[in-house]
Amino acid sequence: MRKKWISIICAVIIMVCTIITPAYAAGIFLPEESNTKQAESTDLIEAPSGILMEAQTGTVVYQKDADTRRSPASITKIMTLILIFDALDKGSLKMDDTVTTRAHAKSMGGSQVFLEANHSYQIGNLIKSIVVASANDACVAMAEHISGSEGDFVKRMNERAKELGMTHTVFINCTGLPGAGQHSTAKDVAKMFSELLTHKDYYRYSGIWMDKIEHAEGRYTEISNTNKLIRFYDGGKTGYTSEAGHCLVASAKRGNMRLVSVVIKAPDSKVRFGDVTQMFNYGFANYMNKTIVDENTPLEIPVRVDGGKKD
């Protein structure tokens, strides 16, 4: 009788879950105990903080000091993009709408596309400026257009972070420029980027390597992507300040599994790209996303697990 109840409880748990399981060529197996310990104890990355997460379920595949609060630098712009795409999804913005930039946006400094004050730009071009060139001036222009001021926009950024379960994140601006009190964690960044990836319009810009932004009177700003991994993967965002170090979040998909990889405070750019690649290689080599039960696969009790060591 006790075994029957255990089987029923396990079946109910399986019914509501789509899981990630360690995978081998012959089928789906739990790893040998010794292999599990080895994977948990081996540092895959050199950076002090990092995480590898499955985007749809939020399952953590690998992590290293993923809950320590650190400066996120320009990775902050992921939340700015989320709010922009939220507004597009709701219909309060349209891609071909125009935004008239103000002097405050023009004055941002740092990475920018040199927007002209009191000039109108299409929203699509401002999004492209943020995704590809990490443009601070474009971020502030969009923030002011959506919320009236950057300050009000940042309040919404923090509200959205709470909605996503980002419990260790505080934003004080929409750009990631240095400022006291702005912090996040590798795990929170992975949650945030996973949300951005649900917006299909993001992929219109995430793979752009080089392009240009047109200003008044025929002036152009050439832009290029600082994320070298876009040649191999389909999305990401770099960041750097002296406090934050070299940061990177990236996404890659194979089959039906999409992984998100985050590195924060790497000592140099080479390490951040290498660490993210290392985590992706580990995840895709050792795991797969498999649906055990869905509406098209009826559940039978007792449950048979193909390839399992026990019935």
Structure tokens at 79: 């939340």
* DSSP state letters, 171-205: -SSSS----TT-BB-HHHHHHHHHHHTT-GGGHHH
In tens, the pLDDT along 22-70 reads 443 322 323 333 344 334 445 899 999 999 999 999 999 999 999 999 9
Please give the model's pTM, rounded to 2 decimal places.
Answer: 0.84
Model pLDDT, residue 311: 60
Model pLDDT, residue 302: 73
Does the active-site annotation cover 74?
Answer: yes
Model pLDDT, residue 109: 86
Model pLDDT, residue 134: 97
Alpha carbon dihedral 11, 17, 21, 25, in 10-degree steps, equals: 80
Does the active-site annotation cover 265?
Answer: no
Q: By three-state DSSP, how is residue 57 classified?
A: coil
**Would the CA dihedral through 140, 252, 281, 35 be positive or negative?**
positive
Model pLDDT, residue 42: 53
Q: State the angle between helix axes of 77-90 and 186-196 in degrees (0 to 180), rounded to the nearest 10.
A: 30
Rounded to 5°, angle at Cα 309 from 308 and 311: 70
Q: By three-state DSSP, how is residue 111 classified?
A: coil
The length of the chain is 311
Annotated catalytic residue, options 64, 71, 77, 129 = 77
Does the active-site annotation cover 134?
Answer: yes
Q: Report which secondary-structure segment, H or E, holds 39.
A: helix 33-41
List of the chain residues with pLDDT < 50: 2-19, 21-41
Annotated catalytic residue, options 134, 147, 251, 261 = 134
Q: Quick one: which of 192, 199, 176 has its CA closest to 95?
A: 199
Annotated catalytic residue, options 49, 64, 71, 74 = 74
